[in-house]
Structure 1
Amino acid sequence: MNRFKAAYLAIAVSIFLVFFKISIGLFTNSISIISDGMHSFMDVIASTITLAAMKLAKKPVDQCHNYGHGKYEDLAAVIQSVLILIISITIIYQAASRILNQNLITETLPGMGVMLVSITLHSVTVLIMLKYAKKENSIALRANALHLLADVITSVGVIVGLVIIHFTGIRIIDPIVAIIVALIIIKTGYDIGKESIQQLLDKSLSQGEKRIIEEILEQHTPPILEYHHLRTRRVGESRQVDLHLVFPNDYSLMEAHDVSSNIEKDIHQRLTNARTTIHLEPEIHDHPYKLYRL
């Protein structure tokens, strides 16, 4: 299996759960189950967007997109966060209406059953998606997996509410649980949106990843005298690394090139899908970046 098959699996599971949850929710008049079904419907849309984004992101470099199309995955994650916000507001509105109108749940046992099925299927799907998101550095698939993880958490909340209602008869717990579910979903959407927007704005790699690059550069010192203007970012599944290396004046271009090639190889071995651009400089030089070295 790869990340594309994992995305297809998420879509299939979500479509099944949409019909299952909403049917049981309507039968039992449970707004918490219906809201969870609406969340699963958004999962279908989100997973479809994720799949489309991953396919677009795999398009090769062209004359208009010299760094590839990896940003499609980040854009898909932003769209998912907006969808999550919309569905959360809808759930809160519907739950508040149920409280005001006293249109409350009538049955609990069928709802418990559908929630157990949902928790099981989504848990397995999330584990598969996170595995391939990490393996293939896909922020869109990871965002989709976290979206489904929110489904697992909310389903647990719904089933706990149904159990309490079953033994206490306090039916107003149902819409209250739905509101709590919506608030959890909003938090998930915020986290997804924040990370993906940072990626769209070319946020640098993590401190741990940058430390790996610095360790590799230190291993090649000497002959490297210094390095500067180190810049990093993530574009889809690839990591972009740019830097300047300073060599002794008597060091030949061929020797400097060999060292930089070895550095590129070492970075690629420790950071998968790394694309490195290195600018070679002599010890005594003047360059346009001296006023704002990084």
Structure 2
Amino acid sequence: MVGSWDKKIKFALLSIVSNATLIIFKVIAGILSGSVSIISEAIHSGMDLVASLIAFFSVRQSAKPADRQHPYGHGKIEHLSGIAEGLLIFIAAAMILMEATKKIYEPIQLEHANLAIAVMLGASLVNLLVSRKLYKVAREEDSMALEADALHLKTDVYTSLGVAVGLVLIKLTGLLILV
């Protein structure tokens, strides 16, 4: 059990580090480019960081041995973390909607498009690699918390790619739309 716990903790920490790093890059790219899509992705990554922290703490808690109050152990907490991560997706969606609504009334010109595109493509690649590794470990260790985190990050692969494609189209066409 100790080896399993160590492995789960290691990959839960990988998710935390990757999300924190991506937030920094997305915020910088979003501010420099003026892209609401990238700022929205940074908000989404913030929710992913919270989800990764929930997964980390649930994995740590689930490793505790059985006691009087929990005669079958603490493993079920990982299932609860999966539910919490699902709720975070809805919160992120609401925050993104609010940010996008503001930009409808105050559109700005896209700047530093190459940087913005590179950050979004890089974020997509990082999330792909981390989600695959988390999913593999989740299956090996039967960890609902890591599986939920992996699935959460997998959605970011597609959203980051979508933002990158949108930015490429804006750069190629020169059309100013809500980015």
Relative to the length of structure 1, the TM-score reads: 0.57
Residue 177 of structure 2 corresponds to residue 172 of structure 1: yes
Secondary structure class of the residue paired with 1:120: helix
Matched, 1:133 2:141: no
Structure 2 counterpart of 1:25: 30
Residues 1:157 and 2:156 aligned together:
no
Match of 1:85 in 2: 90
Q: Is the 8 Å Cα contact of residues 31 and 105 (structure 1) preserved in structure 2?
A: no
Give the alignment partner of residue 120 of structure 1, picking from 122, 125, 148. 125
What root-mean-square deviation, in Å, do the aligned CA atoms of Structure 1 and Structure 2 show? 1.4
Q: Given residue 153 of structure 1, which amino acid in structure 2 is its aligned partner? A: Y
Cα distance in 1, alignment partners of residues 173 and 104 from structure 2: 18
Q: 1:1-294 residue pairs with structure 2 within 5 A?
A: 2-174=7-179
Runs of at least 4 residues of structure 1 off by over 2 A? 100-107
Say whether the 8 Å CA contact 2:58–2:77 is kept in structure 1.
yes
Q: How far is the alpha carbon of 1:68 from its aligned partner?
A: 1.4
CA distance in 1, matches of 2:131, 2:107: 36
CA contact (8 A) 2:104 2:178 kept: no
Check the 8 A contact 2:103/2:178 in 1, yes or no: no
CA distance in 2, matches of 1:108, 1:117: 14
Among the aligned pairs, what percent are the same residue? 37
Between the aligned partners of 2:39 and 2:65, the Cα distance in structure 1 is 42
Deviation, structure 1 residue 173: 4.5
Greater RCO, 1 or 2 (C-alpha within 8 Å, sep 6+): 2
Q: How much has 1:131 moved relative to structure 2? A: 0.5
Displacement of 1:127 after TM fit? Answer: 1.1
Helix, strand or coil for the counterpart of 1:2?
Answer: helix
Which of 1 and 2 has greater Rg?
1
How many residues are matched?
A: 174
The answer as to whether partners of 1:56 and 1:69 remain within 8 angstroms in 2 is yes
Specify the alignment match of 2:3 in structure 1. none
